[in-house]
Amino acid sequence: MWQAGKRQASKAFNLYANIDILRPYFDVEPIQVRNRLLESMIPVKMISFPQKIAGELYGPLMLVFTMVAILLHGMKSSGTVIVEGTLMGTAIGTCFGYWLGVSSFIYFVAYLCNSQITMLQTLSLLGYGLFGHCIVLLITYNIHFHSLFYIFWLVIGGMSTLRMVAVLLSRTVGQTQRLILCGILVALHMLFLLYLHFAYHKVVEGKENFLCMDIICMQRGLTWLLLG
């Protein structure tokens, strides 16, 4: 019994230690998150010194979950009839896949371009850069005018993208390196917003129709086996 208790205590201690490692990345005051959200929409001109990047993941993580909720709201407000599990999984996979995947790719390109940025800073920078996307999607999912979307896409989405570009410019040396790194970031970030507005619903509906066809085929197969 003493050995079993010792193992349980050791497991509990190890779990607490692992959580304690992550705590500094989520230890942030609400007012700091608010200020960083506002700063993510304000491009900065100065590029002569490395601009400071928040080294926390609480704000970016909440923005990713907010984008998931906005995508779910957009699908429901459009009248699309879908399976809840499929919709939730697709939305989470899309948002987290973009955040983690593009952050990793940008960090890799930044490493090749000798930019002074870490993976944690890249995750934080791109995560806060999704704030503009959330604003644009929330408005345009409720007001269905393509011209209005293009205006918000250029203004709000462009401002949040330019903010990230300004930060990367201040941390990258060399005109060619800056052009490559910032060009890739602008293309991926702006095209992702276009995808979420125009193509995401169609992709999810296509997956849903494919899933329904599979379910119908399985039901028919089971009926044939039971009756045959």
In the structure, what pLDDT confidence band is assigned to residue 136 with cuts at 50, 70 and 90? very high
- 43 vs 3, higher pLDDT: 43
Buried b (16+ CB within 10 A) or exposed e, 45-71: eebeeebebbebbbbbbebbebbbebb
pLDDT digits (tens, 9 = 90+) for 149-180: 999 999 999 999 999 999 998 888 888 999 99
Say which range, 128-132, 142-146, 147-151, 154-158, has the weakest mean pLDDT.
Answer: 142-146
**Distance between CA atoms of residues 171 and 197, nearest Å:** 32
- 146 vs 195, higher pLDDT: 195
In the structure, what pLDDT confidence band is assigned to residue 143 with cuts at 50, 70 and 90? confident
pLDDT for the residue 54:
81
Q: Please, what is the average pLDDT of the chain?
A: 78
What pTM was estimated for this model as a whole? 0.78
pLDDT for the residue 46:
56
pLDDT for the residue 220:
46
Q: Is 81 left (phi over 0), alpha (psi -120 to 50) or beta?
A: beta
pLDDT for the residue 203:
56
pLDDT for the residue 202:
63
pLDDT digits (tens, 9 = 90+) for 51-108: 788 888 999 999 999 999 998 888 776 555 555 556 777 888 889 999 999 999 999 9
By CB neighbour count within 10 A (0-12 exposed, 13-18 middle, 19+ buried), where does 99 fall? buried
pLDDT for the residue 47:
52
**Distance between CA atoms of residues 163 and 160, nearest Å:** 5
Buried b (16+ CB within 10 A) or exposed e, 142-180: eeeeeeebeebbeebbbebbbbbbbbbbbbbeeeebbeb
Amino acid at 173: V
Residues, the chain, total?
228
Provide, rounded to the nearest whole percent, the portion of the chain with pLDDT above 90: 42
Contact 88, 57 (CB under 8 A): no
Contact 190, 161 (CB under 8 A): yes
The owner of tokens 């999607």 is: 137
- 199 vs 152, higher pLDDT: 152
* Range with the largest mean pLDDT of 10-24, 42-56, 170-184: 170-184
pLDDT for the residue 222:
36
pLDDT (mean) for 39-51: 73
